[in-house]
Chains A and B, each alone.
Chain A
Amino acid sequence: QKEVEQNSGPLSVPEGAIASLNCTYSDRGSQSFFWYRQYSGKSPELIMFIYSNGDKEDGRFTAQLNKASQYVSLLIRDSQPSDSATYLCAEDTGRRALTFGSGTRLQVQP
Chain B
Amino acid sequence: DAGVIQSPRHEVTEMGQEVTLRCKPISGHDYLFWYRQTMMRGLELLIYFNNNVPIDDSGMPEDRFSAKMPNASFSTLKIQPSEPRDSAVYFCASSLARGTLHNEQFFGPGTRLTVL
A interface list, Cβ under 8 A from B? 31-32, 34, 42-46, 49, 51, 88, 92, 94-103
**1/0 per position for B83-111, CB-CB distance to A under 8 A?**
00000000100010100111111111110
List residues of chain A with CB within 8 A of the CB of B100: 31, 94
B contact residues, total (Cβ < 8 Å): 24
| A69-B95 Cα distance, complex, nearest whole Å | 29
| A34-B93 Cα distance, complex, nearest whole Å | 14
Shortest B49–chain A CB gap in Å is: 10
Closest to B108 in A: A43
Given contacts A31-B100, A46-B105, A103-B42, 11 further A-B contacts (CB under 8 A): A32-B102, A45-B107, A49-B102, A88-B43, A96-B48, A96-B55, A96-B95, A97-B56, A98-B45, A101-B42, A102-B42
Please tell me which one of the listed residues A43, A96, A99 contacts residue B31 in the complex, with CB atoms under 8 A apart: A96
B interface list, Cβ under 8 A from A? 31, 33, 42-45, 48, 50, 55-56, 91, 95, 97, 100-110
B50 and A43: CB pair below 8 A?
A: no
B48 and A97: CB pair below 8 A?
A: yes
List residues of chain B with CB within 8 A of the CB of A46: 104-106
B107 and A43: CB pair below 8 A?
A: yes
| A43-B35 Cα distance, complex, nearest whole Å | 11
20 contacts between A and B (CB under 8 A): A31-B100, A32-B102, A32-B103, A34-B104, A34-B105, A43-B110, A44-B107, A46-B104, A46-B106, A49-B103, A51-B101, A88-B43, A92-B103, A94-B100, A96-B31, A96-B48, A96-B55, A98-B33, A98-B105, A102-B42
